[in-house]
C-alpha cells in the first residue's frame, strides 16, 4: 500500500495527496482552499484550441517570448532530460507547448498549483509509461483561481526565481507556456521523495550524524547560491528538500521567497567567529551587534584584480586569507509567512525580518535531521510561536555523545540565536557557516561529487523496477517508493 507521509504544509507548498499534515503553516494572506480540478478536466481544458485567431496569436507570442527567455543551463549540459528538451525545441521558432507533453498522473497539489508527472510526446502516442526516456514535473497554475485568491504575485515570483537559477541543488526550469487560463512550468522530476519522508524511514526516525552533515552541507551550498543572487528562501524545511534519483538534494517551492540585492565582496576573515579558535563553543565567543566589516577589511569583488600577473604562490596565499561574501543583509520584509515550527523569533513576534530567517530555519533543519523533531514544537501553533520567542534552546541529552555531535550542537546554537543581529550567518552568510568545525573534512566545493548516504536509484534496483511485476513484498516496496515520487 502507499505509505502515508508526515508532511507539514506551508502556505503555498506542494504535498503528496495522501500526506496528512501534522504541522500547520501561516501567511498574512487569506488562505482559501485550493480548487482541485480533475486530471481529465485539466488536460481537456488545456488541449482545447483557442477560440479565436487573436487568442491563438497571443498564445504563440507568449510561448515564443518564453522560449527566448529560457537561458542556457551550463551545469545541465550533460543531463539527458535537459538535452531532450533542447532537442525538442531545436529549429523551432516558438517554444514548447502543452501539446508537446503527455501527462501521466497527478503527483502533487498545493495552495497555488497542481503538479503532474509528464514526459515529452513521441511519434508513438501509444507508448507506455515505462517507455518514456525521462520524466518531468509540470506545475499547472490556474490563473483565474489565483486572481480570486489574490496570489498571482506568488506564482510570478516563483517563475521569476526559477529563471534565475542554475545550480546542481536547485530546480531547473525546462519550459514554460500558457494554455487557456492555465500557466505551466516544466521542471525536473525528483524520484527520491523528500528528507522528511526519508527521515521517517531511518532508525528511530532520525539521520545519523554523518548523513545529517551531508544533507546539511548540500543545503548550505544551495542557500549560499540563493543568497548570492539576493534571494531569501523563507520556506526551508525537510519537506521542501527533495531527493534526486542520484541521492543528491534539490530545494523546491519558491513562491514565498523574497528577492533583494546582494553586493559581492571579498573580506578579511579576521572578524569570523571561527577564525581565531574554531573549537571555541559559540556560547563562549563574544558576539557583536555591529557589522564587523570596515573599509580596511572589505574589498569590492572583482573578477580581474589589479595585478593580473602575480605569482601563483602569492595568489594562493591571498586567496587563503580572504572570504567571498555575498549576503542580502539589507533585505527587509514584514510578511508573516512560513511554517510554524521553522519561523524565526522576529517573524513569530510580528516584527520585520531579513536574511537571518533562513539561517534560523537552517538551524531548525539540522536539529530535526539529527534529533528527529524540532526544538520548539508544542501542542498548538500559538504555543509553538511562544516557545520560539521565549523558550531557551535545549537538546534531548545534556551531554553530546561524540565530538561531531558537540560540533553539531555548537553550530545549531549559533544558528538559533534569538537575536538576528547575533545569529550565525546573519552578517556574512555561508562564508562564516562553512568555516564551522561541524563541516571539517568535507570538501564543500566538491560535495556534488561525493556519494550520498542514500541513493534511490540503487535502492530501486535492489527491489523492483518501475512497471514490473513481482512478489507481494516487492509490490509493497514499489508502492512505498511511489509515495516518494512527487515534486
Residues marked as catalytic: 235
**In terms of C-beta density within 10 A (0-12 exposed, 13-18 middle, 19 or more buried), how is residue 204 classed?**
exposed
Q: Of 122, 123, 118, which is closest to residue 46 (Cα–Cα)?
A: 118
Q: Give per-residue burial for 207-228: e unless 16+ CB within 10 Å, then b.
A: bebebbbbbbbbbbbbbbbbbb
Judge whether 337 and 11 are in contact, CB under 8 Å.
yes
Distances from the Cα of 292 to the Cα of 273, 389, 422, 487, angstroms? 11, 26, 11, 41
The single residue listed with the C-alpha cell 513481482 is 470
In order, the DSSP letters of 49-74 are: PPSSHHHHHHHHHHHHHHHHHPPP-G
- The x, y and z cell numbers of residue 264, run together, are 559581492
- The x, y and z cell numbers of residue 258, run together, are 523574497
Residues 456, 458, 461, 466, Cα dihedral to 10°: 30
Q: Of 420, 425, 429, 354, which is closest to residue 389 (Cα–Cα)?
A: 420
CA distance 285 to 181: 56
Residue 138's beta-bridge partner residues? 116, 186
C-alpha torsion sign, points 189, 233, 112, 481: positive
Q: Of 182, 137, 187, which is closest to residue 162 (Cα–Cα)?
A: 187
Helix then strand then coil, % of the chain, to nearest 5: 40, 15, 45
Find the angle CA(151)-CA(155)-CA(160) to the nearest 5 degrees.
135
In order, the DSSP letters of 181-224 are: TEEEEEEE--TT-BHHHHHTTSGGGS--HHHHHHHHHHHHHHHH
In order, the DSSP letters of 332-399 are: -B----EEGGG--HHHHTT--B-THHHHHHHHHHHHHHHHSS-TT--SSHHHHHHHHHHSPP--SSSS
Amino acid at each position: 500500500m502507499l505509505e502515508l507521509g508526515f508532511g507539514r504544509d506551508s502556505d503555498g507548498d506542494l504535498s503528496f495527496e495522501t500526506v496528512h499534515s501534522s504541522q500547520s503553516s501561516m501567511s498574512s494572506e487569506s488562505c482559501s482552499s485550493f480548487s482541485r480540478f480533475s486530471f481529465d478536466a485539466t488536460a481537456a481544458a488545456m488541449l482545447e484550441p483557442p477560440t479565436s485567431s487573436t487568442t491563438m496569436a497571443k498564445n504563440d507570442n507568449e510561448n515564443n517570448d518564453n522560449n527566448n527567455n529560457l537561458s542556457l543551463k551550463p551545469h545541465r549540459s550533460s543531463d539527458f532530460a535537459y538535452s531532450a528538451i533542447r532537442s525538442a525545441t531545436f529549429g523551432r521558432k516558438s517554444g514548447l507547448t502543452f501539446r508537446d507533453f503527455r501527462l501521466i498522473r497527478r503527483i502533487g497539489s498545493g495552495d497555488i498549483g497542481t503538479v503532474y508527472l509528464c514526459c515529452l510526446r513521441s511519434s508513438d502516442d501509444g507508448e507506455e509509461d515505462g517507455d518514456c526516456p525521462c520524466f518531468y514535473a509540470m506545475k499547472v497554475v490556474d490563473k483565474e483561481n489565483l486572481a480570486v485568491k489574490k496570489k498571482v504575485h506568488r506564482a510570478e515570483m516563483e517563475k521569476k526565481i526559477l529563471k534565475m537559477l542554475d545550480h546542481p541543488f536547485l530546480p531547473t526550469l525546462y519550459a514554460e507556456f500558457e494554455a487557456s487560463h492555465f500557466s505551466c512550468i516544466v521542471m525536473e522530476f525528483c524520484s527520491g521523495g523528500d528528507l522528511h519522508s526519508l527521515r521517517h524511514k531511518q532508525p528511530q526516525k532520525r539521520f545519523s550524524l554523518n548523513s545529517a552533515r551531508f544533507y546539511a552541507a548540500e543545503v548550505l551550498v544551495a542557500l549560499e547560491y540563493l543568497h548570492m543572487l539576493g534571494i531569501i528562501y523563507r520556506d526551508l524545511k525537510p519537506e521542501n528538500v527533495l531527493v534526486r534519483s542520484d541521492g543528491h538534494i534539490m530545494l523546491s517551492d519558491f513562491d514565498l521567497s523574497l528577492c533583494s540585492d546582494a553586493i559581492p565582496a571579498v573580506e578579511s576573515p579576521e572578524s569570523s567567529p571561527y577564525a581565531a579558535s574554531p573549537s571555541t563553543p559559540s556560547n563562549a565567543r563574544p558576539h557583536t551587534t555591529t557589522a564587523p566589516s570596515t573599509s580596511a577589511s572589505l574589498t569590492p569583488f572583482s573578477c580581474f584584480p589589479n595585478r593580473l600577473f602575480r605569482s601563483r604562490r602569492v595568489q594562493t596565499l591571498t586567496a587563503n586569507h580572504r572570504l567571498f561574501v555575498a549576503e542580502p543583509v539589507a533585505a527587509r520584509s514584514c510578511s508573516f509567512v512560513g511554517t510554524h515550527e521553522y519561523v524565526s523569533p522576529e517573524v513569530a513576534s510580528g516584527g520585520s525580518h531579513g536574511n537571518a530567517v533562513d539561517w534560523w530555519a537552517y538551524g531548525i533543519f539540522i536539529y530535526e535531521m539529527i534529533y528527529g523533531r524540532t526544538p520548539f514544537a508544542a501542542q498548538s501553533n500559538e504555543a509553538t510561536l511562544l516557545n520560539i520567542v521565549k523558550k531557551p534552546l535545549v537538546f534531548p541529552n545534556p551531554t553530546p555523545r561524540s565530538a561531531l555531535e558537540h560540533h553539531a550542537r555548537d553550530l545549531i546554537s549559533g544558528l538559533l540565536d534569538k537575536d538576528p543581529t547575533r545569529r550565525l550567518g546573519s552578517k556574512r552568510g555561508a562564508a562564516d557557516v562553512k568555516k564551522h568545525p561541524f563541516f571539517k573534512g568535507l570538501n564543500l566545493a566538491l560535495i556534488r561529487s561525493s556519494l550520498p548516504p542514500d541513493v534511490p536509484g540503487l535502492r530501486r534496483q535492489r527491489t523492483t523496477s518501475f512497471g514490473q511485476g513481482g512478489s507481494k513484498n516487492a509490490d509493497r516496496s514499489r508502492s512505498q517508493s511511489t509515495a516518494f515520487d512527487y515534486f
